[in-house]
Chains A and B, each alone.
Chain A
């Protein structure tokens, strides 16, 4: 029986999805290597930070976590969803008081200091929200107004806590999650459109009352980088130069001048996409977008194949999280969005970022490899 199950699992393992992830991680390590060189005078390398090696180790760990995650059937965690949600919310509250932030921005609290590294509770909270929304929506045939309020409250609470850190980028990821999940769960479209409209209308209020000065500055610098040359505008201008000057085929791996001459900051983390675009050009961008689309479509394919409602909603939630993060990061790299401080999944340097991304595909794959027989026929399907 066990053997049968393992065989079954292997049959349902989505190799294409895994291959796309592996390709992205490999590309990521190559470009982290390219972006970890600090040049001094006369092009001499004054420092080569061991980011690529570190990333490789984290990739091995993440793959391990990924496969470990496939073993237990995901339906077993249904009962743990609520406690997990409560725990992450508590951690988000904790981080507001005892958290630490990047050294150069005092007053920002994002991480919990652990003996070996940092824990970013907001990354746990994203998954927790996907889980709890999937749990809440799984048997609701057509979510009504009351359900919508509950869903937005469940997503809004951690989002507000993350905004308070403040971490606009991560908070942004919470926004599409309830919308998409409500949508696929069968909520009425005009309800959702009303919510989106209300959200857009609230932006001015948000701007005036909630946004910090530095966030406003970043936003203004995004619109007119030339006016903020030395400060916020620097990154916008130089990332755009990196992207634009890459051209069709790029300057070659390790030959990007914006990259190697230290013009880009955060180039191994948030701005690695700029480095890739500079060194691999438009062709590289097509490849990357293609790989991400594979992940998204594989995920949606898993959701489509899954009859069990918790699983398929969960997969849609996780796919939404990944897709949003990819889009926001790419957008800020190419000047479509203000800079918010988000990593590019599977590619950006960072153990916790990599772990979180693998955690997401792990959930997707778990749902894929553990098909649950649902004895309800077509009639059960949401209508």
Chain B
């Protein structure tokens, strides 16, 4: 009996062990591949390696924007969380001592890191909850789980507190870090602008990606998975940085590695190296650019008038100068942001606005180029056509004045022909010419010169300006001298001058030298019109009595231009006319065209022409230098 029952016990043990073996046979033989795959899923992780953003360089190779590795002091929240209350105070105090900051500020920065993390988590949480892809209960569970994982993830990463610390500070922080859990020194890529304010509006700046962008480009950016955007990326906010953001953005490296349970890499399975983004070479000529910026800055300093200047190579449409004054330093942009937008201070000049392409002004007398074209092309105006200027012009009950009219002395330009009228910028002459040509014709030719439409420059935020269709003769008179509701950007004005310089080609300006540029449209100006315009614009600069003669003429290079003095309503403490100058150089075989505007700067010949003169002189010097250099090369070759 006992032995039988022992056998039953033995059979029972045998059965239990049989169950173990059966289960193992199922798991290890039948389902082995499934478990291996499950293991791989958890052990093999993809790491995305950030790639540096491409540089932006000027035509001569001057670096305007580049990614630079910078030392930064970061906090790792997971370790920081282990500190006691007293230790936290010591932590703040030690770091404050290293950084020369106050413990309160350090605490504030740490707080900002934490609230930033929570904000991101909250955003993802709401995103999950609003996705509607599952039942509300399950979504809540998923959101909670994701939030937990995300927090764990973010807490284990180095979150920057101070970026761009000095080498000494980094060394001190590194030395202190064993006693300060959660303190880490690391190197991260920071967008820097070595030339500071130079061409800041053209270059633009970068910012953190918005949640919408993360959403849209989180997996792929314009179909490129390696360029996908994550929260540690930057995106171009304005200027070239924005326009060519996709090209500038580097292709991420992809590292497939086996990780252990703590996420530490073990073995690299595959590795795609990160690729730096495309280098964008701009047509900007740093010397001309700085000459233009200095000229505008001097006006701002002495007379508080902001302004803008554009200069382009008329043969290619390359933009050599794109200046807007005042500017800002993109390196310290975020720190300066409050001051830059403070309406009581610098902010009243709107330093962030790119006046060269995004602002439009009444054009004033520069429009007379178009009035001349409209008249001559409609055969209502000839170089020999004469009108008499008595300083004032009457139309019905309306009274329109010439620039030289003043109430005490009733003076006018007298009887003058077209070239003299251009040279002296007589309003009365062009009232007559404009009326003869008709409002429709003025509008048509203005459109042909590219007004009322964007130029197509490779920059975001370009304005079209405003081109009115004159309804009655009063409007026509206003438009014929560039007044009324006409609004033109400096770039559009520069294009008018370029069209005269190129013999009637409406070129598309561009900053990126490799940009695909379409063939220029023809404005359709006849040769005789061009000759008259060039002659008149030449006289305005180079003949005594010309509007730009006194302040604009230079011996360095003969150039042609047209001044403009546009009446404008006052803005704040700024009152007076907008001062315009548009022209091209050299006058006989044009290579560059330019346009300058000084807001409320007064007379175009006085305020804007000197900037043009400076640009032309710098261009002439550069050209001479190039010629010398070329001559030197030739001589060197001969000597050998």
Q: Which residues does A use to contact B, with CB under 8 Å?
A: 39-43, 180, 183-184, 186, 229-230, 237-238, 240-248, 257-258, 260-263, 277, 281-282, 285-286, 289, 292-293, 296-297, 300, 303-304, 312, 316, 319-320, 323, 327, 330-331, 334-336, 381-383
Contacts of A312 in B (CB 8 A): 2
Whether, in the assembled complex, B265 has its beta carbon less than 8 Å from a beta carbon of chain A, the answer is yes
**Whole-angstrom distance between the Cβ of B470 and the nearest chain A Cβ:** 73
Contacts of B43 in A (CB 8 A): 257, 261, 263
Q: Which of A244, A304, A327 contacts B35 (CB 8 A)?
A: A244
- B42 and A263 contacting across the interface, CB-CB below 8 Å: yes
Closest to A282 in B: B28
Contacts of B25 in A (CB 8 A): 282
Say yes or no: A257-B21 contact (C-beta < 8 A), given A300-B6, A382-B2. Answer: no
In the A-B complex, the 9 residue pairs with the smallest Cβ-Cβ separation, listed nearest first, are: A244-B35, A261-B260, A262-B261, A41-B264, A247-B32, A282-B28, A241-B39, A244-B27, A245-B36
**Whole-angstrom distance between the Cβ of A244 and the nearest chain B Cβ:** 3
Q: Which residues does B use to contact A, with CB under 8 Å?
A: 1-3, 5-6, 8-10, 13-14, 16-17, 19-21, 23-25, 27-29, 31-32, 34-36, 38-39, 42-43, 145, 148-149, 258-262, 264-267
**Whole-angstrom distance between the Cβ of A259 and the nearest chain B Cβ:** 11
Q: Which of A262, A334, A382 contacts B27 (CB 8 A)?
A: A334
Once bound together, how far apart are the Cα atoms of A336 and B42, in whole Å? Answer: 23
**Whole-angstrom distance between the Cβ of A158 and the nearest chain B Cβ:** 22
Say yes or no: A316-B32 contact (C-beta < 8 A), given A263-B261, A277-B24, A292-B17. Answer: no
Closest to A315 in B: B6
20 contacts across the A-B interface (CB closer than 8 A): A41-B266, A180-B9, A183-B9, A186-B5, A241-B42, A244-B32, A248-B28, A248-B32, A257-B258, A258-B39, A261-B261, A285-B20, A292-B17, A296-B13, A300-B6, A304-B6, A327-B17, A330-B20, A334-B27, A335-B27
**Whole-angstrom distance between the Cβ of A127 and the nearest chain B Cβ:** 19
Q: Which of A229, A246, A300 contacts B28 (CB 8 A)?
A: A246
Q: Identify 5 new A-B residue pairs, CB closer than 8 A, beyond the known A243-B28, A245-B36, A289-B21.
A: A180-B9, A257-B43, A258-B39, A261-B261, A335-B23
Say yes or no: A248-B29 contact (C-beta < 8 A), given A43-B266, A263-B42, A263-B261. Answer: yes
**Whole-angstrom distance between the Cβ of A270 and the nearest chain B Cβ:** 16
- A281 and B28 contacting across the interface, CB-CB below 8 Å: yes
Contacts of A241 in B (CB 8 A): 35, 38-39, 42
- B14 and A316 contacting across the interface, CB-CB below 8 Å: no
**Whole-angstrom distance between the Cβ of A10 and the nearest chain B Cβ:** 25
Q: Which of B28, B36, B38, B266 contacts A42 (CB 8 A)?
A: B266
Say yes or no: A282-B29 contact (C-beta < 8 A), given A261-B43, A261-B259. Answer: yes
Contacts of A39 in B (CB 8 A): 260, 264, 266
Q: Which of B1, B10, B16, B265 contacts A327 (CB 8 A)?
A: B16
Closest to A297 in B: B10
Contacts of B148 in A (CB 8 A): 230
Closest to A290 in B: B17
Closest to B14 in A: A293
Once bound together, how far apart are the Cα atoms of A300 and B14, in whole Å? Answer: 12
Once bound together, how far apart are the Cα atoms of A146 and B27, in whole Å? Answer: 46
- A334 and B266 contacting across the interface, CB-CB below 8 Å: no
Once bound together, how far apart are the Cα atoms of A282 and B21, in whole Å? Answer: 8
Once bound together, how far apart are the Cα atoms of A43 and B265, in whole Å? Answer: 8
Once bound together, how far apart are the Cα atoms of A52 and B21, in whole Å? Answer: 27
Contacts of A285 in B (CB 8 A): 20-21, 24, 28
- A296 and B10 contacting across the interface, CB-CB below 8 Å: yes
- A244 and B2 contacting across the interface, CB-CB below 8 Å: no
- B264 and A300 contacting across the interface, CB-CB below 8 Å: no
Once bound together, how far apart are the Cα atoms of A286 and B19, in whole Å? Answer: 12
Contacts of B39 in A (CB 8 A): 241-242, 245, 257-258
- A316 and B6 contacting across the interface, CB-CB below 8 Å: yes
- B5 and A183 contacting across the interface, CB-CB below 8 Å: yes
**Whole-angstrom distance between the Cβ of B235 and the nearest chain A Cβ:** 32
**Whole-angstrom distance between the Cβ of B334 and the nearest chain A Cβ:** 35
Once bound together, how far apart are the Cα atoms of A263 and B40, in whole Å? Answer: 12
Contacts of A381 in B (CB 8 A): 1-2
Once bound together, how far apart are the Cα atoms of A40 and B153, in whole Å? Answer: 18
**Whole-angstrom distance between the Cβ of A193 and the nearest chain B Cβ:** 13
Instruction: Please indicate which of the listed interface residues A245, A261, A285, A303 has the most CB atoms of chain B within 10 Å of its own CB.
Output: A245
- B3 and A323 contacting across the interface, CB-CB below 8 Å: no
